[in-house]
Chain A
Amino acid sequence: MRVRLLTFGVLRDMAGLSDETVELKEGATVGELIEILRGRTSNDSTGNGADEGIWRSLAAAVNREYSSLAEVLREGDEVALLPPVSGGCGER
């Protein structure tokens, strides 16, 4: 099956693409999709450890609703990986 994968902010810079189609096996979860992307970015980037924190701090959305790692994906889903948000203004 195919899903649409969107990435934003620092994660988009790491992944290299903001909007792509990813082929997954039937029944794949959000967590499995994240592992695929994570494997890919660690191969073709500098591999420095500073980027690791981003994978711990993510949120994910499926069809524009926040989701869990265990959520099972379906053909045509829109999956977004979201770094911690920083809208508004100034510091916390």
Chain B
Amino acid sequence: MSNEICRVEIVDTAIAAGEIVAAVKDGADGAVCVFDGIVRDNTRGRRTLYLDYEAYREMALEQMRGLAAEAVARFGVRDVAMVHRLGRLMVGETSVLIVVASAHRAAAFEACRWMIDSLKKTVPIWKRETFADGAVWAAGEPFPEELAIHPRGDAE
């Protein structure tokens, strides 16, 4: 029944969003939910020129594969795709694409939201933001309690 493929990739060139979405669709689906994460032109009032993404590539891929498999198991969706781009990205370019195909829309929305939220907490990818007036490594989200090496509130 489920023609599941779970396309998971880390790429160094533009993400072909339309092509990936089309490839995921199947006759059994009633809904395809797409999250297209793009580079915004500002952060907290500073004008962004571009972002540089880097990854612990092998581990990031393994983590992304784990998230894809868990999304299918947890939400009962038919198939998912998760593609992240590395390197220098300009304003408006896609950094991450998540596609979820499902018989029903509720599960597709939920799985898509869960996948991007989880990626931003556990997949080892980092971005350096270059603004018109300087550059910084983006402050990431704190690791989930079970992954952090110092539990929160653990005073030294």
Pairwise interchain contact A86-B126, C-beta atoms closer than 8 A: yes
Task: Take A82-B56, A85-B124, A89-B39 as given contacts and tell me if A68 and B149 are in contact as well, using a CB distance cutoff of 8 Å.
Answer: yes
Q: Which residues of chain A from 1 to 60 have any CB-CB distance to chain B below 8 Å in the complex?
A: 6, 8-10, 13, 30-31, 34, 56-60
Q: How far is the CA of A6 from the CA of B53 in the complex (A)?
A: 17
Residue count of chain B within 8 Å CB distance of chain A: 39
Q: How far is the CA of A89 from the CA of B142 in the complex (A)?
A: 16
Pairwise interchain contact B149-A6, C-beta atoms closer than 8 A: no
Pairwise interchain contact A89-B96, C-beta atoms closer than 8 A: yes
What is the number of contacts between chain A and chain B, taking CB atoms within 8 Å? 106
Instruction: Say yes or no: is A76 at the interface (Cβ < 8 Å to chain B).
Output: no
Pairwise interchain contact A80-B59, C-beta atoms closer than 8 A: yes
Stretch at the interface among B24-32, B104-112, B114-122: B114-122
Pairwise interchain contact B56-A83, C-beta atoms closer than 8 A: no
Interface mask (B88-131 → A, CB under 8 Å = 1, otherwise 0)? 00000001100000000000000000001001111111111000
Instruction: Say yes or no: is B87 at the interface (Cβ < 8 Å to chain A).
Output: no
- Besides A83-B137, A85-B140, A86-B138, 14 other A-B contacts (C-beta < 8 A): A8-B56, A9-B128, A9-B137, A64-B56, A66-B147, A80-B124, A85-B120, A85-B124, A86-B127, A86-B139, A87-B124, A87-B127, A88-B119, A89-B38
Residues of B within 8 A of A (CB): 37-40, 43, 53-56, 58-60, 62, 84, 95-96, 116, 119-128, 137-143, 147-150, 156
